[in-house]
Chains A and B, each alone.
Chain A
């Protein structure tokens, strides 16, 4: 029986320590009932204190965007907390600008609810919900970009074109935890019962690897949203839109929406940059839009076009093509606005070109 002594002692000791942690957690981490007042009484939540603000809000049906799922590594879950809840934590500092710090902006995933709070979040976040969906279609658009269409059944999603949604990625393979990633919605706002996304495979990316290698049609998943501020303006200025790769998504939604609503008096120039002919997709779809919308101009361009390719479109870097059109084709006497969606590098380079050509109103959806 002696051989049982060691496991029994270790088990007893470990149980005792676990018991102590549970008791301390129950008593010390018990902050009692707290009230969270959002947007000066627009919504008041009565809940138990002790959890992170992000978790507390999501358990009450208010979803603040968090691309990293609350690990403090994306800086998306910003909100203004006017109650004094202590100084800004070292984990928050890298994500907050001096202006944000002065406005009491905090990261909801880092601060704990310990007492009554007054806070402010953008009104549109009240519309963000958690949706249960079923994968309806997975379409290969290129060798590394898939279109995923998720049906959300009887539920209905309200959004403005340009918004993004967070895809909840379940554990798979070596990934043991749920992860969330943000993707622009490529479907039209009028399609209330489904959400489409364009997802490019990133080598070793947790979410994109799942989508490309594991996701099956008919699979159940969760989506949270819509979030974001990227959208077209309400004026009638000329839109100069630039996308690369899966940056196509918000524009696809935007242009179909405008076409559907008959907003075809507005002039739109849509530049789509790709490396080779293999990276191009949805060309026919945008050429069809061009036919129905006389003021719509679609300019796909290839930066690494091979002489053997059957391509008579624009060649060269998208920045050079954009610069050429801004100088020669796009009427500079009318007010122009820039809309960019893609990688930070592409956005930075195109931003400079737009600026050099006198365009100051620039909006972007950055894939950083």
Chain B
């Protein structure tokens, strides 16, 4: 039985109050390493959103019509992962062929997404929370937008931080992690508005 949540509420919650990155800390590796310039952050954010939405839809169908009927829930990790890997590969070929300009923007980031744990995380949340197909897609799309918002915000902050008098020992990853901590606290400010589990 799916929870009774309006998809629009779910969309808002997944972007702000339950941001996959700043509330659940999923997808941190690429978030930290690619957030140094705005173009790359945008490219990666866009790719994560597209891949999250498509793979979650496929994973929901496989979960509902294969894993549950055959009692194979214990295999969900490996099944979800191979679906994500295959989808990313197909997506890369299709974008390269039909939209070279988009491929230029996303191209080198697409393979990185295969190992982004936010993608697997959303598939597992969808299963744990029992979302319907529409809810899952909205949740995945919103989580992607939330991840995109977070990485673009961090890239913008990093631009300022570069010119700030940061102590020598904190330069690089140190100040980035502190910044992410502050960002997470700022997003907690949204949490009173909606609680969606």
The yes or no answer to B193 lying at the interface (CB within 8 A) is no
Binds A, one of B19-27, B89-97, B121-129: B89-97
In the bound assembly, the distance between CA atoms of A90 and B75 in angstroms comes to 38
Q: How distant is the Cα of A89 from the Cα of B101 in the complex, in angstroms?
A: 11
Contacting A at CB under 8 A, from B48-81, are: 62, 66, 70-72, 75, 78-79
Known: A17-B83, A17-B86. A9 touches B94 (CB 8 A): no
Chain A residues within 8 Å of B66, by CB: 9, 13
A interface residues, Cβ below 8 angstroms from B: 5-6, 9-10, 13-14, 17-18, 20-21, 24-25, 28-29, 86-87, 89-91, 112
Contacts of A91 in B (CB 8 A): 108
A-B contact pairs, 21 of them (CB 8 A): A5-B70, A6-B75, A9-B70, A9-B75, A10-B78, A10-B79, A13-B62, A13-B82, A14-B82, A17-B82, A20-B86, A20-B90, A21-B89, A24-B90, A24-B94, A28-B96, A28-B97, A86-B101, A86-B104, A89-B108, A112-B96
B3 lies within 8 A of chain A by Cβ: no
CB distance from A106 to the nearest CB of B (A): 14
Pair A13/B79 contact, Cβ less than 8 Å: yes
**A-B CB pair tally, cutoff 8 Å:** 49
A89 touches B82 (CB 8 A): no
Contact size class for B? 20 to 34
Contact indicator A21/B72 (Cβ below 8 Å): no
In the assembly, what is the distance between CA of A21 and CA of B89, in Å? 7
The CA-CA distance from A286 to B96 in the complex, in Å, is: 56
Q: Give the residues from 4 to 41 in chain B that come closer than 8 angstroms, CB to CB, to chain A.
A: none
| Min CB–CB distance A125 → chain B (angstroms) | 28
Chain B: which residue is nearest A87 at the CB level?
B104
Q: Report chain B residues within 8 Å CB of A9.
A: 66, 70, 72, 75
Shortest CB-to-CB span from A194 to chain B, Å, is: 42
* Chain A hits for B130, CB < 8 A: none
Q: Look across to chain A and name the residue whose beta carbon is closest to the beta carbon of B107.
A: A89
Q: How far is the CB of A51 from chain B (nearest CB, A)?
A: 13
Closest to A85 in B: B100
Q: Write out the residue numbers on chain A whose beta carbons fall within 8 Å of the beta carbon of B98.
A: 28
Query: Given that A9-B70, A89-B108 are known contacts, is A28 also in contact with B93, CB under 8 Å in the complex?
Result: yes
- Given A29-B93, A29-B97, 16 additional A-B pairs, CB 8 A: A5-B70, A6-B75, A9-B66, A9-B70, A10-B75, A13-B66, A13-B79, A13-B82, A17-B82, A17-B86, A18-B86, A24-B94, A28-B97, A89-B107, A90-B108, A112-B96
Chain A residues whose C-beta falls within 8 Å of the C-beta of B72 in the assembled complex: 5-6, 9
Q: CB-CB < 8 A to B94: which residues of A?
A: 24, 28
Query: Complex Cα distance A91/B112, Å?
Result: 14
A29 to B98, CA, bound (A): 10
Chain A residues within an 8 Å CB radius of B100: 86
Q: Which residues of B contact A86 (CB under 8 A)?
A: 100-101, 104
Bound-state Cα–Cα, A247 to B97, Å: 46
Q: What is the chain A residue whose CB lies nearest that of B87?
A: A17
Q: How far is the CB of B6 from chain A (nearest CB, A)?
A: 33
Closest 8 CB pairs of A and B: A17-B86, A28-B97, A28-B93, A24-B90, A24-B93, A86-B100, A21-B89, A28-B94
Query: Chain A residue with minimal CB distance to B90?
Result: A24
CA distance A28 to B98 in the complex (A): 9
Bound together, the chains give a CA A21 to CA B83 distance in angstroms of 11
Which residues of A sit under 8 angstroms from B71, Cβ to Cβ?
5
The answer on a CB contact under 8 Å between B93 and A89 is no
Asked if residues A89 and B70 are in contact (CB atoms below 8 Å), the reply is: no
A273 to B101, CA, bound (A): 52
Instruction: List residues of chain B with CB within 8 A of the CB of A18.
Output: 86
A residues in contact with B104, CB < 8 Å: 86-87, 89
How far is B74's CA from A6's CA once the two chains are assembled, in angstroms? Answer: 10
Partner of B93, one of A6, A13, A25: A25
In the bound complex, what is the Cα–Cα distance between A358 and B108 (angstroms)?
A: 47
| A87 proximity list for chain B (CB < 8 A) | 104
In the bound complex, what is the Cα–Cα distance between A25 and B107 (angstroms)?
16
The answer for the CA separation of A87 and B83 in the assembled complex, in Å, is 31
Distance of A18 Cα from B70 Cα, bound (Å): 22
- Chain B residues with CB under 8 A of A5: 70-72
Residue of A14, A17, A20 with highest tally of chain B CB at under 10 A: A17
Chain B residue numbers with a CB within 8 Å of A25 are 93
How far in angstroms is the closest Cβ of chain A from B69?
Answer: 10
